Structure 1
Amino acid sequence: MRNNTKHIIQRIGETDQLFLQGNTPELALERSDLRLQLIALSSNHQEQVYFLKEAVVLLEQGRIEFEEMPMDLYINLSLHLAKAYMVFFELTKESRYALITQQIMKPMSKAGHSDIFFYLAYASAVQQEPALTRHWLTKYSKTQAFDLELMQSHHAFSAYKNEVWFSGILQSRMH
């Protein structure tokens, strides 16, 4: 077992013990993030699904359990939740996970956060909604955090690489 995996498992135990003393949104975020890290290190499908389910529960609970939290923390919890659902999609190829991601992210789109736009574009591409994919990618391209390399290489957008509008978005950010 690699040192990184051992460290993650050890930290999961520590954060689970902290949870028994009292939960916080930050703790929910860390506990779920540790599980998402394990998913990336695992090659066992059942193990990945198990940790994904745990991460989703922790994130959902973290989003609703606390009446007040800073907006950036709520956005971060929601982005991790969107990531978890899109990992579910990648593992199962079930588009319902992309729909769930859209339902989580759409109400938050007014925040103008680049990752919200990215996940909305990603989920729209999976749902085969070219107009929405274009809409969200255009919004994403206007943010400071726009990642040209990610947009060019992400497999979800490969169907759009020959589209004039897609090339236009890329060109607008190359200069």
Structure 2
Amino acid sequence: MFENTKQIVARIGETDQLYLQENTPELALERADLRLQLVVLSHVRQEQIHFLQEAIVLLESARVEYEEMPMRLYLNLSLHLAKAYMLYFEITQENRFALITQQILKPLTPHEHSEIYFFLAYASAVKDELALTRHWLSKYLKTAECDVALLQEHPAFKHTRQQTWFNDLIQHKLH
């Protein structure tokens, strides 16, 4: 086991003990994030799905369990949930996980958050929804946090990069 993996597993044990004392949305976010880190480190599909399912339950529960929380925390929970579902998509290639991501994030678009736009573009791209991909990428590219290199390298945008409008959007952002 890699040293980093051992540290993550140890921290999961610590946060699970903290959960038994008192759960908070921040703690749920950390517990889910640790599991998502293990998904990325694991090369065993069954392990990945197990950790994804745990992370999704933690994030979904935290989003509805607490009546009051700062909007920034709710957005972070939602973005981690979207990331979990898109990891699920990457492992299974099932479009329903991209659809779930769209359903989670679409109501949050008024917050004009770059990662919301990115994940919506990502989910649209894997579902071959070209018009929506263009729409969300246009919004993403207008944000200060936009990562052009990520768009040029991310496998989900392979077919999108062949579109003239995609290259025009990138050139406009670079100038």
Shift of 1:69: 0.4
Match of 2:98 in 1: 98
Match of 1:62 in 2: 62
Amino acid of the structure 1 residue aligned with 2:118: F
Name the SS for the 1:117 alignment partner: helix
Match of 2:75 in 1: 75
CA distance in 2, matches of 1:162, 1:119: 20
Match of 1:21 in 2: 21
CA distance in 2, matches of 1:99, 1:136: 15
Match of 2:43 in 1: 43
Shift of 1:164: 1.4
CA distance in 2, matches of 1:151, 1:162: 12
Match of 1:111 in 2: 111
Name the SS for the 2:146 alignment partner: coil
Shift of 1:3: 1.2
How big is each residue's C-alpha offset from its partner over 1:51-77, in whole Å with a ceiling of 9 and x where there is no partner?
Answer: 000000000011000000000000000
How does the TM-score come out when normalised to structure 1? 0.99
Q: How does 1:102-141 map to 2 (within 5 A)?
A: 102-141=102-141
Name the SS for the 2:159 alignment partner: helix
Structure 1 residue runs of 5 or longer lacking an equivalent are none
CA distance in 2, matches of 1:13, 1:161: 43
Shift of 1:78: 0.2
Shift of 1:126: 1.1
Shift of 1:134: 0.2
Q: Which moved more, 1:73-82 or 1:159-168?
A: 159-168
Aligned length: 175
CA distance in 2, matches of 1:130, 1:108: 21
Amino acid of the structure 2 residue aligned with 1:122: Y
How big is each residue's C-alpha offset from its partner over 1:91-139, in whole Å with a ceiling of 9 and x where there is no partner?
Answer: 0000000000000000000100000000000000111110000000000
CA distance in 1, matches of 2:34, 2:51: 9
How big is each residue's C-alpha offset from its partner over 1:14-40, in whole Å with a ceiling of 9 and x where there is no partner?
Answer: 000000111100000000000001111
CA distance in 1, matches of 2:19, 2:8: 16
CA distance in 1, matches of 2:154, 2:81: 19
Shift of 1:161: 1.3
Identity %: 63
Name the SS for the 1:161 alignment partner: helix
Amino acid of the structure 2 residue aligned with 1:167: N
Match of 1:165 in 2: 165
